[in-house]
Structure 1
Amino acid sequence: MLRVLTLNLQHGQPGAGAGDGTAVSGSLAGADIHDPATARAVLAALAEQIAELDPDVVALQEVDLGQTRSGRVDQAGMLAQLLGWRHHRFAAAWAGPVAGLRRRPRRAALAGSGDDVLGPARALLGLGPAGFGNALLSRYPITSHRLMRLGRGPASVVRRGGSAVDPRSYRVFTATARNLLVARIGLPETVLPGATGISLGATHLATRADTAARQLAAAWDALAALPGPRLLAGDFNLPTEQVSAVGVGRLLGEGPTFPAASPVRRIDHFLTDSGPADADGALPPPAGGEGVTTGDADARRAPLLRAVGGGTRSFVVSDHAGTWVDLEPTD
């Protein structure tokens, strides 16, 4: 069995679960994570809660790297270290400080100053790389990974009082860049019998439903070209019925995830390969066709996945509840 958790981290901001008493550090409600020590304490409490759940892979969205608002820590790297896991990947949707000039990174990992066009200038000021994006943490080896950019979507104009003919009454909000981080994770044969690994994607889609739907279709198409089995996880910003309407993959898991304090709708999801195409159980042709990566002899015959367990819970951080799914091959 493989357990996968997805959580919108909301840059480590303490949320509904911050005072639920499950963390040995006690209540962290209202903690100021600008302070590096406090930011680390919040992540330590989160790692404790994740460890209690005991997932094998964690997909994270809204992850900070080197941001002032979250203590300038490497959140993905620190969480992996706290969990005792050696394998993690971070993919910046954009580089730069939250309150400042955002830009497309040269390399999404932001592992060094050369990954950001303004990185050398930041280094002269004694500042490391900064960015914001998605991450994957895994107890099993990440054998390869890749990034797909999903675009921004259109800007929106919001009227904030005043006269309808006064330009000062309006404010323009540009859409945030989105991406898909995909990793090939090697697995022992006993975890998912019949599969030596899984292609697992983490993404965070736009808040506009039409843009999110287009991004979801593009993300699934990219993932479907890789060896199976496949799982797409993340904050889709779409309710279940709208995800189903896109017509890609097969939904797994259940339970509302937003808002964390009292969830009423599920906008964080898991998608996997579609099931049998007909009543006789005939399987559909392998997704991706010629795009399936060569070198994996079992790629086209990889087992389909089913959920044998799962759930949702609020963590010490975020305005989302996390959701997880327990995966096994279908019979």
Structure 2
Amino acid sequence: MKLTTLKDFGNAGGSWTWALHKDGFWWCNFALYGADNHKTFLVKYDEKWREQARWTFPGKVISQLGRYSLSGGIWRGDELWVTGHDDPVAFRLRLPKTGGVLEYIGQHAVPFTGQGFANDPVTGGLIGISRAQRQVVFAKPQCIRLRVLCYNIHHAAGVDRKLDVPRIARVIKSVKPDLVALQEVDNKAGRSGRVDQATELARLTGMRHVFGANIPLQGGHYGNAILSRFPIGRHKNHLLPNVDSGEQRGVLAAHLELPGKQTVRLFATHLDHRRPDGERLASAIFINAMAAKENTVPSILAGDLNDVLGSRTLKEFRKSWTPTNAKPMPTVPVGKPTRQIDFILFRPAARWKVIETKVLDEAVASDHRAIFAILELCD
């Protein structure tokens, strides 16, 4: 072991219990106890130990500490996890946009009491200590596996010119998805027999659904839809930037309520197809800004992006998102695909693991092949 950093804080106003180095800054916790434990504070220092900001901890955390204070802290992505003294609980926090109190996100059971803990660089889980047993405890990350499908259904009109919603439902059911992002969905439009296609696909697949209308069409509407095996919470359709009076595009965003009180956002979108790429690029910037408003919420973006890996559009998305595949997996033309324009992406990268990505073999039901991914979301 070699000492690399030494800092004497003198009388800093509290007991220094932990320090973390992240993003070129030192994050230090100063604990107070007893009736003053609500004054416990976090300080952000630059590399020369000049204070940049400080925050206290939310009452929902302090109220669970008794007369003790916060003993351990780690960063997990953009979340700050902290522990108390005795209870096997980690509190999940984030920096506030304004104000001097950290924001409470939730809490997570851990298999060790408070005091020190750390990230496990091997498994991505946690490492803590059991004082009673005098043991180091390794806690593997708790993960939930999600099966995600992205499918441009071409209003259920196949390349054989047959309009067949049940056939689309069979394609969806073939991979037993948990979450589905659909593009080119008709809602009571004349060309598709006045059928509410999202509702009908939800009925045929046994899933919940929401629809986002982007344009009126033949007495109905046309847009994107989401199917979900899980309850759908708040959701909203957002119209994307429109350049030179092209077809109005949109992104449908929904909060999905997973087991264990976990929330995931799903963004379903379909971008402009024209050249040049100005509208697609503007749409990517718009969607990235939307995602940043709830920066710590695990999210999936799925859609027909009408552009390829390496394009300006995908480069913009990759500032905020990670595609499930690093090399192209062609989805169009449907008969003999040569280009991938349909994608599934996720954020933040540290919370997700890609188990599998594939393009479905079905080449008749639509003019796109569907792309499917199995992802694990881990604490």
- Cα 1:75–1:315 change in 2 (3 A) is farther
Residue pairs, 1:131-210, within 5 angstroms? 131-154=221-244, 174-189=245-260, 196-208=262-274, 209-210=277-278
Say what the alpha-carbon RMSD is for the aligned residues. Answer: 1.8
**TM-score computed with the length of structure 2 as normaliser:** 0.57
> 1:140 & 1:275 partners in 2: Cα distance?
22
2:330 to 246, 252, 256: 256
What residue number does 2:25 align with? none
Structure 1 gaps, min length 5: 16-28, 34-41, 98-128, 155-173, 190-194, 277-303
TM-aligned CA deviation for residue 142 of structure 1: 0.2
Show CA shifts across 1:121-175 (max 9, x none): xxxxxxxx61000000111100110222113211xxxxxxxxxxxxxxxxxxx41
TM-aligned CA deviation for residue 69 of structure 1: 1.3
TM-aligned CA deviation for residue 317 of structure 1: 2.3
Residue pairs, 1:296-311, within 5 angstroms? 304-311=351-358
Size of the alignment, in residue pairs?
226
- Cα 1:239–1:217 change in 2 (3 A) is same
Structure 2 gaps, min length 5: 1-144
Question: Counterpart of 1:30 in structure 2: which amino acid?
Answer: R
> 1:316 & 1:65 partners in 2: Cα distance?
22
State the percentage of identical aligned residues.
Answer: 33
Show CA shifts across 1:268-309 (max 9, x none): 112222436xxxxxxxxxxxxxxxxxxxxxxxxxxx112111
Q: Which structure is higher in helix share? A: 1
- Cα 1:230–1:72 change in 2 (3 A) is same
> 2:215 & 2:241 partners in 1: Cα distance?
11
> 2:364 & 2:333 partners in 1: Cα distance?
14
Show CA shifts across 1:237-271 (max 9, x none): 01011144213321113511111111111111122
- Rg larger in 1 or in 2? 2
What residue number does 1:292 align with? none
What residue number does 2:205 align with? 83
Say if 2:340 is the partner of 1:266: yes
Does the CA contact (< 8 Å) of 2:342 and 2:371 recur in 1? yes
What residue number does 2:189 align with? 67
Residue pairs, 1:217-256, within 5 angstroms? 217-226=285-294, 228-242=297-311, 243-246=313-316, 247-253=319-325, 255-256=329-330
TM-aligned CA deviation for residue 231 of structure 1: 0.8
Show CA shifts across 1:301-330 (max 9, x none): xxx112111211235422111001111035
Q: Classify the secondary structure of the residue corresponding to 1:151.
A: coil
Q: Classify the secondary structure of the residue corresponding to 2:194.
A: coil
> 1:59 & 1:316 partners in 2: Cα distance?
19
- Cα 1:197–1:274 change in 2 (3 A) is closer
Q: Which has the higher contact order (CA 8 A, sep 6+)?
A: 1
